[in-house]
Structure 1
Amino acid sequence: MVGKKGGSKGMGAAEDAEEELARTPLQAIILADSFTTKFRPITLERPKVLLPLVNAPMIDYTLAWLESAGVEEVFVFCCAHSKQVMDYLDKSNWFGQPNFSVTTIESHNAISAGDALRLIYEQHVIRGDFILVSGDTVSNMSLSQALKEHKERRRKDSNAVMTMVIKQSKASPVTRQSRLGTEELFMVIDPETKQLLYYEDRGDNLKGYLSLDKALLTYNTSISLQNDKQDCYIDICSPEVLSLFTDNFDYQHLRRDFVKGLLVDDIMGYKIYSHEIHSSYAARIDNYRSYHTISKDIIQRWTYPLVPDVQFFGNSATKLERQGMYRAPEIKQSSSSKIGPFTVIGSGTSIGNNTEISNSVVGEGCSIGSNVTIENCYIWHNVTIEDGCKLKHSIVCDGVTMKSGAALEPGVVLSFKVVIGRNFLVPAYSKVSLHQQPIKQDSDEELEYADNSSGITESPSVSGTSDLLNEEERTELPDSQEYEVGDGGVGFIWLVSEAGQEEEWRHSVAPIPVDKLVEIMQISNDETDLPNEDGAFLPPSGELGPDSITNDSNEDAEDIRDDSVIFEREVEATFQRAVEEDVTDDHVILEVNSLRLSYNMASADCAGALFYSVMKLALDAPHDSPNELYKNVVSTVRKWKKLLKYYLSSIDEEIEVILKFEEMCLESAREYSPLFVQILHHLYDQDIIQEEAILDWASEKEGAEESDKIFVKQSEKFIQWLKEASEEEDED
């Protein structure tokens, strides 16, 4: 069934086929169904695309990006809970926008992305190249360059049917897994044409060798084996993609079936290409962990202009305050409560005495009592949290009530209208729902349907949907069912099988346990620098070709510089997450060491990048004078002293830190310039920088230009004092 809203765009009479194609509006298909069960039990009651992401439904981000990128016609394919999606869009502001039409296509029978695309093909609504995304995509990339490349290839070769958007992500498997919970991805790409030649996501199977067909080397003069890219799941497709799904009914999954199928098909000769983005943002919410990470990225404005204070949220009155804190209007907050950095508070929410909220998102109409602690949580709308509750690294859905003294351990998910009893402790990684846990385990390709309207789900059904159950239906649960969530509680705790425990910590909003990080790190280390058949080592890029033995070109030098910049950004992002999530030093060291291996960096590079991150944290903290800024530095260095000293095992590394501080004072953090000597002296007093490093740094500057001696001259008295103290020691 097709339901269209918004202005239709009539096509004028075309003089020829090429002119008609040029006039075809840019179209997009949004799959508003994940076709997986990763967000259960939440998605038994509400479709994933309508789940709030920093207090706005996920699909709003996708639609806002497509509109800004120049898409004119969008077809939203709805299946599971289709009525909810269609009702939401019908009442939203997306219908009736100028030069932007939204059409819904409904189905009750599709159980995969392949089924969805076959049904869309039968509607004959796609008239040219189109953008294919899911309704959980967040991006701010421009489509113009990728579209241009795609159309140019199409003009030269009609078999170039798809362009996949990928993103540089040189972080190691450890860092990527701790951020997004994604599977390890291997791709082989022609470095000249950017044609995709091989694609494999390996899940947890990190061990073992990658087996490539010899034909890849036989028929390609040069190939690049890449393990440092992130699949953005944004595809630019020709109309042939839809017909290919129609001709091949075994194509169900977009990557495992369609992409891999075309790559091994030697008869038809269809080709897939890649388009890599660097500075833009693009990511898909695939599991709870990526939900957590992308939420943080939105709050920290990596997704600008899709940030909490933009218009499409419907709450443009939300104000950005210092340290990434956002407040909507009409909030009732006790003067004794504390709202920490990187926190969003929705309108109509009340917060009681001595309550502390940090690094969290709180929705609209919530009632939070006194002496409550909320850290790294996602509290949706109309939630009631009574006095004395403690929540950490959890998701709390609409209408939940937590009675006084209740607590959530990390990784908990409370589904809609659950009630947690007084003083009840919900165990880590638990999922609590008014639905009973399905008896049968489903494949990850099943729809996220509720089975019936009784409020109890024994097994999912693909024959019908169940919208969010109303209050009357919820109270008709059989008396024989026992609730498991404490005195006065209402809800069932879903059990995690032994086999599923690893998936829980990989995909949870809670940090990955340190012992698991150590395990992954060990696997990663074992596979570093594997030799090829001739006993030689592959270059870091993984690129093989006639010219791969040379690495002294200017281009290579630029790559090294680029790697250094990206490495510093990755370290900064890792440190920032450690601050937000209260991660231990050992945890940070594991991740930084993993990045160091991935980028082939030295310990001095780690020291410089971490020092920059620590000093930036102090700079971002509130201060109104140089004296207050210095106090910020003192407290921040004290807290992270152990982490800094870990990478300062030699004088060279300490000198690197001084040079990094000079660079900050001259470029990115000029507020530190008048405090250079004072802070250097403090680092010396704290045994972070030794006397020898400071004297060697000053000695190396003797032959430098005057412009490079600014901070040495500022430090003359301090340096002279160190020299005299050193001479006295020698005399003694």
Structure 2
Amino acid sequence: MGAPKKSAPKTSSSDDPEELARVPLQAVLLADSFTTKFRPITLERPKVLLPLVNVPMIEYALAWLESAGVEEVFVFCCAHAKQVTTYIENSQWRSQPNFTVTTIESHNSISAGDALRLIYERNVIHGDFVLISGDTLSNMSLVRALQDHKDRRKKDSNAVMTMIIKHSKPSSATHQSRLGTEELFMAIDPTTKQLLYYEENANHLKGTLSLDKMLLVDNSSITLHNDMQDCYIDICSPEVLSLFTDNFDYQHLRRHFVKGLLVDDIMGYKILTHEIHSSYAARIDNYRSYDTISKDIIQRWTYPLVPDVLFPGDSPTRLDRQGMYCASEIQLSRSAKVGPLIVIGSSTVVGSNTTVVNSVIGKGCIIGSNVLIEGSYVWDNVVIEDGCELRHAIVCDGVIMKSGSRLEPGVVLSFKVVIGPNFVVPPYSKVSLHQQPTVEDSDEELEYAENSSDTIHSSTRGQVDKPNGGSSSDLSEMQQQSIPELGLGGMGYIWSICEGCHEEEWKHSVAPIPPEKLTEITRAIEDDLDLANMDRNAPASSGELKPDTQVDSEDDENEDSRDDSTYFEKEVEATFLRAVNENIKVDHVILEVNSLRLSYNMQSVDCAGAIFYSMMRLASQLSHSTASELYKNVGSVVSKWQKLLKSYLPGKDEEIEVILKFEEICLESVKELSPLFTQILHFLYDKEILSEEAIQDWETEKADADESDKVFVKQAEKFLQWLREASEEEE
């Protein structure tokens, strides 16, 4: 059985293009995440079938693979394998031309390594293949990445894997990406793009990172990154499967396999990287990334993987530019206030005076009157009675919230939980009909692998025979036991947070990071920076590189600086839009922007420019059909957020830079603002955002400029003359 498998690489690495064309592009999709991060929900339903903007996660992965030219997909499933198999058999993917989906079940595999060993034994992979997790979403084209992989294989047969990566600067305050994942450190050869070092949550302190000094000896040039995101999309040669078979200690894809290959000097296998720029790719690793990616879908960063394009059969309709999707047959009270950035599933009822903002509502839900739903995810067939409040929570199928009950930020209610009237569920609580397991799995990353059927086994105490329900006597007994926990008539158990984990709950929650945490950590980081600056001239110990160590040429450093400015601007815009959509207070936004400023080593003027750019972009995206309406949008946005902008304009020099930034915006990114330049400049002056001295000095600086750089000075000539005359009259 082993011989045919070893001959497979010859087919994929052939120099004959016609021979290559005859090998179908295959993919292995891991339907198990092999983690416990989505408990208690995943005790009852596999993660890949959890709804992401009202569509099961696996649908996004399969839709992308099909659009990217993959012809055969092997879906590996273990936990709740029957549910996954049944779903695939009844889905649209069973009848797609030139696209076959086959499920492979295993009730004994407890890791990704076990899964790939089983795939190898089945002998179903015959060439290069795409390896992806079922909780990954992307719209990237595979053409360039596949070609890079094949070209590298022709030059070096040891290049067995290409890892897809993209920029994602972590927050200096939390050492996390916006997806809630820990800070990732990579070392990459800038010429060959070979991965040389990979460390998640590395033990870095005061600006130093420990590396094997032989890494520096063996490579003439290295780029160090803490601003890369691992997309968990890999293009693999068949040897990858045999490597897992030959090394049974390879369990985790990154911690074991990738790091194992990086330190193996005997076989010489290599991992290369392929960086994507404009495309989208992300993995749902925790509740925070679930929230972030949901918002990205609604805001159409994932196009065409958006509700109205990808799944028109569910009849969602995009209503306006603020990202409101409403399915057919919903009943929406006239007094209800919905939007922006909402999705409402079919047959859902929303009562009078109810507010729904920045949230996703599933199918068949009944939402009463005077309800507040903010930043939350309400799945199918949920009943929320009058006067309830939900802020930044996840509510699974069949939940009942009785009148006046309230969910604090970060709450997760699993299937068919009942919250009693006027009961307040504490922040970050996880509530389930199943009691919390008394003994965790031996490996903290194991999913409920033994739950291949729809039963919960003896690893839970107070077990319920049917996760999706139970006998009336079972529920009656549970209801009586749960009264102290969830109020009168409540059903379910509040899981306790493990000792030492309470302070970490906010990192991976759907709730925004608490302001007090941002303040506390930002101060700590500033103290560390002060200490680091004191030691900056101290010699580095062996095997350590200071962050400002010159590894590449000066040109590369300048390019990196430009990249940093671009990514910083994008991060600030994302922060600003989140503040707008979630109505976050200005003081809290300033904390987040300060955190980004420290992370990217930017100045106040950079913050001001990025914020002003975000404000102008928002104004242009709001509904308007004439220049007059666009000007009103600008006035509305600036008036509301002027305190935020002015906090980064301490002096005249910063104000001049904002005017220069405004010119750039009008010429490049938001050209429809160009005719309104003078009006908006005058408005900023009236609002005391820009001073008379700054505007006049901007005019003076432009005096010796080329004619092409004086476009807006000439346009504003009447306003500038008025300023000069007014100044003379005052004198």
Per the alignment, residue 444 of structure 1 pairs with 444
Q: Is the 8 A contact 1:376 1:581 kept in 2?
A: yes
Q: Is the 8 A contact 1:346 1:364 kept in 2?
A: yes
Structure 1 residues 532 and 125: alpha-carbon distance in aligned structure 2, compared to 1, 3 A threshold: farther
Q: Is the 8 A contact 1:297 1:303 kept in 2?
A: yes
C-alpha displacement at 1:314, in angstroms? 3.4
Structure 1 residues 615 and 454: alpha-carbon distance in aligned structure 2, compared to 1, 3 A threshold: closer
Structure 1 residues 435 and 713: alpha-carbon distance in aligned structure 2, compared to 1, 3 A threshold: same
Per the alignment, residue 690 of structure 1 pairs with 691
Using the size of structure 1 for normalisation, the TM-score is 0.91
Alignment-mate amino acid for residue 446 of structure 2: E
Structure 1 residues 230 and 611: alpha-carbon distance in aligned structure 2, compared to 1, 3 A threshold: same
Q: How does 1:166-565 map to 2 (within 5 A)?
A: 166-174=165-173, 177=176, 179-202=178-201, 209-312=208-311, 314-442=313-441, 443-448=443-448, 459=459, 468-472=467-471, 475-476=474-475, 478=477, 481-483=481-483, 484-522=485-523, 524-525=525-526, 526=528, 531=536, 534=539, 544=551, 548=552, 550-551=553-554, 553=555, 556-565=557-566
C-alpha displacement at 1:477, in angstroms? 6.5
Structure 1 residues 630 and 330: alpha-carbon distance in aligned structure 2, compared to 1, 3 A threshold: same
Q: Is the 8 A contact 1:45 1:467 kept in 2?
A: no
Distance 1:567 1:124 in 2: 46
Alignment-mate amino acid for residue 222 of structure 1: S
C-alpha displacement at 1:470, in angstroms? 3.5
C-alpha displacement at 1:701, in angstroms? 2.4
Q: Which has the larger displacement, 42-51 or 302-311?
A: 302-311
SS in 1 for 2:308: coil
Matched, 1:678 2:699: no
Matched, 1:81 2:80: yes
Q: Is the 8 A contact 1:81 1:465 kept in 2?
A: no
Q: Is the 8 A contact 2:81 2:453 kept in 1?
A: no
Distance 1:104 1:541 in 2: 49
Distance 2:12 2:137 in 1: 39
Over the matched positions of the two proteins, sequence identity in percent amounts to 68
Distance 2:63 2:513 in 1: 32
Corresponding pairs, count: 710
C-alpha displacement at 1:524, in angstroms? 4.5
SS in 1 for 2:516: helix
Q: Is the 8 A contact 2:374 2:392 kept in 1?
A: yes
SS in 2 for 1:182: coil
Per the alignment, residue 709 of structure 1 pairs with 710
Q: Is the 8 A contact 1:412 1:428 kept in 2?
A: yes
Distance 1:454 1:221 in 2: 56
Per the alignment, residue 664 of structure 2 pairs with 663
Distance 1:409 1:178 in 2: 24
Distance 1:575 1:457 in 2: 46
Structure 1 residues 467 and 32: alpha-carbon distance in aligned structure 2, compared to 1, 3 A threshold: farther
Structure 1 residues 39 and 447: alpha-carbon distance in aligned structure 2, compared to 1, 3 A threshold: same
Matched, 1:34 2:33: yes
Matched, 1:139 2:142: no
C-alpha displacement at 1:490, in angstroms? 1.3
Structure 1 residues 113-145: Cα deviation after superposition (integer angstroms, max 9, x where no partner): 111111111111111111111100000111111
Where structure 1 has 5 or more consecutive residues not aligned to the other structure, the ranges are 1-10
Structure 1 residues 326-359: Cα deviation after superposition (integer angstroms, max 9, x where no partner): 1111111111111111111111111111111111
Alignment-mate amino acid for residue 89 of structure 1: I
Distance 1:453 1:89 in 2: 16
Structure 1 residues 42-94: Cα deviation after superposition (integer angstroms, max 9, x where no partner): 00000000000011000000001111111111000010000100111110001
C-alpha displacement at 1:478, in angstroms? 4.2
Distance 2:504 2:130 in 1: 31
Structure 1 residues 138-182: Cα deviation after superposition (integer angstroms, max 9, x where no partner): 001111111112112222222211111111223444477262110
SS in 2 for 1:654: helix
Alignment-mate amino acid for residue 508 of structure 2: H
Structure 1 residues 675-729: Cα deviation after superposition (integer angstroms, max 9, x where no partner): 3333222222222111101111122223334444343334333323322332344
C-alpha displacement at 1:392, in angstroms? 0.7
Q: Which has the larger displacement, 378-387 or 600-609?
A: 600-609
Using the size of structure 2 for normalisation, the TM-score is 0.91
Alignment-mate amino acid for residue 294 of structure 1: I
Q: Is the 8 A contact 2:82 2:452 kept in 1?
A: no
Alignment-mate amino acid for residue 158 of structure 2: N
Distance 1:493 1:677 in 2: 59
Q: Is the 8 A contact 1:35 1:446 kept in 2?
A: yes
SS in 2 for 1:512: coil
Distance 2:558 2:464 in 1: 57
Structure 1 residues 673 and 263: alpha-carbon distance in aligned structure 2, compared to 1, 3 A threshold: closer
SS in 2 for 1:273: strand
Q: Which has the larger displacement, 67-76 or 614-623?
A: 614-623
Per the alignment, residue 641 of structure 1 pairs with 642
Matched, 1:157 2:156: yes
Alignment-mate amino acid for residue 689 of structure 2: I
Q: Aligned Cα RMSD in Å? A: 2.9
Structure 1 residues 156 and 456: alpha-carbon distance in aligned structure 2, compared to 1, 3 A threshold: closer
Matched, 1:718 2:710: no
SS in 2 for 1:268: coil
Distance 1:245 1:258 in 2: 8
Q: Which has the larger displacement, 352-361 or 18-27?
A: 18-27
Distance 1:467 1:446 in 2: 22
Alignment-mate amino acid for residue 236 of structure 2: C
